[in-house]
Chain A
Amino acid sequence: MAAADSASATLRRHDLCSRGIRLAGKMRSDVVDLLDTYVEQQGLDASASVAAVEGVPVAAVEHWDEQTGTQRLLENLAAYRAFRALLAQMLEEQQEQLGEADATLGRALAAVLLQVSAFTYHLEELLRLENRGPPGEEAAVPPMPPPLSLFERKLRGLGVLRELAQWAVRSARDLRQLTKPGPGSGVAPSPAESP
């Protein structure tokens, strides 16, 4: 019975990782398209440098290959919960700023927000499978930033989407690491799986 449960959990984990990888790939593709639309609609320079903004999860990581599976999942979860809040805020600001005049950008933002929410769910499920359970959302969501000017909000939005595009690539890589056997997956094998 224990072996069957373990095998079932392994299959479920593999299934969640595979779906998550596909979702991350689609998400990245949509975010890249959204970036083009955003830059155009907000009148920004696509090559503009955006300094790191407080509250925006940075995808850049050192010693990525040395992370355990649990570390990967926790960092991903914290990031996507933050992106969920940031995108919701961007959507609200965009609707206030442009009203119904630009439905295209609003729809694209909403679609990406949906994908981020779906991906967050995947990560929470993966953590439950590892008997860790996802941390409370209050701890993961960064505090609201101080009020910004319109131009600062536009630049922050650009920063959010750029980092989200990087995270989508990183997440696909992280989930692939989880499907590999060995220490990189960060999951101790059950007695049934041990050699």
Chain B
Amino acid sequence: LLLAVPPKEPVLMCRSNNYPKGFYCSWHLPTPTYIPNSFNISVIHGTREMVCEKDVFPKNRCHIRYLQLFSTVKYKVTLTVTNALGKSSTTLTFDEFAIVKPDPPESVVAKPVPNNPRRLEVSWQNPSSWPDPESFPLKFFLRYRPLILDQWQHVELSDGTSHTITDAYAGKEYIIQVAAKDNDIGTWSDWSVAVHATPWTEEPKHLTTEAQITETTSTSTSSFMPPPTTKICDKGAVVGSGSVAVCWTAGLVLAAYGVLFI
């Protein structure tokens, strides 16, 4: 048996992710009432009442077109929720600039740079919801870290939609994210979807050499040749740095294999 209740104070949020076109407000009830509720929203700017057009989906959202830009007059948004047992309302007051928050950058791609074991090339695109990046350019914040560490590195970029990381640890897989903000106003977007990438590493030449020796001295017809994409070394067993990495565990195995068949 569920008891119907009057609505509690609704939670209201307003944001502009498509500046300078307009902004949207969305709301929800903190706890269910178990009976139908109706929502009424009013938006006042100075002495002017503005129309908040309800979205078809989601139903708890409406959007407002800016009639003026660069105004110091605050916007006042009041949401009232009513059901058969009562009503409750909440009001938000804010400046035009304060609610500007773009969506995260899209299509983030990170790639190794051939012959550069400490570099990763990262590129992304402006969020598609941002209507005019030429007149209202975004700046970006990139963060990256190797998976094995908790500490992020940060880079702020005032123009362009790409960046080359030049201090990556060789051979380590990285996680990378990007955020966006209008160049002049508002707050940072949420972080983009994370992408992973590992800097370029040179193929370990000496392993091929050992395999060749094993093949020529062995009386067995079998040979040990790792497929090109197989990682035969786990990260902990790799010593050295850069393009010359000695995988000593695999080396011991190969040496033992070779001895067995001499």
A interface residues (Cβ-Cβ under 8 A, vs B): 25, 28, 49, 58-62, 64-65, 162-163, 166-167, 169-170, 172-173, 176-177, 180
Residues of A within 8 A of B137 (CB): 176
CB-CB < 8 A to A49: which residues of B? Answer: 74
Report the Cα distance A61→B67, complex, angstroms.
8
Could you tell me which residues of chain B, from 132 to 179, have a CB within 8 Å of some CB in chain A? 134-137
- Chain A residues, Cβ within 8 Å of B184: 25, 28, 169, 172-173
Number of cross-chain contacts by CB at 8 Å:
46
Residue positions of B touching A, CB distance < 8 A: 20, 67-74, 97, 134-137, 183-185
- Interchain CB contact (< 8 A) of B20 among A58, A64, A166: A64
Least CB separation from B137: chain A residue: A176
Alpha-carbon distance between A60 and B68 when the two chains are bound, in angstroms: 6
Complex contact B97–A177 (CB within 8 A): no
Q: Give which listed residue, B67, B70, B134, B183, contacts A166 with CB less than 8 A.
A: B70
Q: Check B135–A176 contact: CB distance below 8 A.
A: yes
Q: Is the CB of B134 within 8 A of A176?
A: yes
Complex contact A169–B135 (CB within 8 A): no
A62 touches B70 (CB 8 A): no
CA distance A172 to B185 in the complex (A): 12
What residues on B are CB-neighbors of A167 within 8 Å?
70
What's the Cα separation between A167 and B72 when bound, in Å? 10
The complex places the Cα of A169 from the Cα of B183 at a distance, in Å, of 10
For the complex of A and B, the 10 pairs showing the least CB-CB separation, nearest first, are: A60-B71, A59-B70, A170-B70, A60-B68, A64-B69, A166-B70, A162-B72, A169-B184, A62-B68, A176-B135
